[in-house]
Amino acid sequence: MNIIEIENLNKIFKTRQNHFQALNDLSLTIAKGEMIAIMGTSGSGKTTLLNILGCIDHASSGSYRLNQKLIEGKSLQALASIRNRDLGFVMQDFALVDHYSVQKNVLLPLNYLKDHKLRKERAARLPALLEKLHIRHKQIEKVMNLSGGQKQRVAIARALINEPEVILADEPTGALDQKTSQEIIQLLRAINQEGKTIVIVTHDPNIAACCDRMVRIEDGRIIEDTKLILSV
């Protein structure tokens, strides 16, 4: 089953003087449970694509179906709820609140859940989640006192707390050294093997090599789509 289906997607950024076509008739399907790397030179359209997949931005034309549901035409409120329920985000700069504790950061997405019972159930999973990500011993530590690798583990825990089907990661290892990057990618791989679909934007061929598939974008178009034989 395809969890992501995009068809003939175009994205045009309009400024006062001119306009720029960042995505050009791009079509892509991603199967449930796939781990896919999006590569391409700087300015090729990777983040633009990820932002549309993440319902942070909308396409100028074309269609996007997430879990069979058409995303175009949804209200801002509906998009916010899709982002919170169906998607988890992991960013290069971690996007954590530095002066909050690890547990407060991880529990943040639950604030948007209206169902109090569900909120309690999910919050109860916190210790097991932190254990799995090897940061249980840092539960009440402020994020500002953690290493880069630990911060990214907190961000991954936060992305997982609402049990989304899809994790979108924009250069998740961009701020980390090589050894820590490998640890983070192996962690994402383990999460993928539990059934999550993972889309990773990366410049790093070593990260792409840990994925099932690599799609290369140039000038807003897909120029390569390769299934990878995993060595990990």
Ligand X SMILES: Nc1ncnc2c1ncn2[C@@H]1O[C@H](COP(=O)(O)OP(=O)(O)OP(=O)(O)O)[C@@H](O)[C@H]1O
Using CB under 6 A as the criterion, which residues of the chain lie in contact with ligand X when the complex forms?
A: 13, 15, 20, 22, 40, 42-48
Nearer to ligand X, 20 or 112 (CB): 20
Q: Where do we find the tokens 């058409």?
A: 70
Closest CB to ligand X among residues 22, 184: 22
CB of 107 to ligand X, least distance (A): 30
DSSP 9-58: EEEEEE-SS-EEEEEEEEEEEEETT-EEEEE-STTSSHHHHHHHHTTSS-
13 or 112: whose CB is closer to ligand X? Answer: 13
Contact between 87 and 168 under an 8 Å Cβ cutoff? The reply is: yes
3-class secondary-structure state, position 220: coil
Output the smallest distance, CB 45 to ligand X, in A: 4
Token duo for residue 103:
């547990």
In the complex, the smallest distance separating the C-beta of residue 229 from ligand X, rounded to whole angstroms, is: 26
CB of 220 to ligand X, least distance (A): 7
Of the pair 4, 157, the CB lying nearest ligand X is at: 4
Q: In DSSP terms, which residues pair with 70 in a beta bridge?
A: 65
Q: Shortest approach of ligand X to residue 44 CB, angstroms?
A: 4
- Residue with smaller CB distance to ligand X, 90 or 157: 90
- For residue 14, what are the CA distances in angstroms to 19, 57, 157? 4, 14, 36
- Strand locations in the chain (E): 2-14, 19-31, 35-39, 61-66, 69-70, 87-91, 166-170, 197-201, 213-218, 221-227
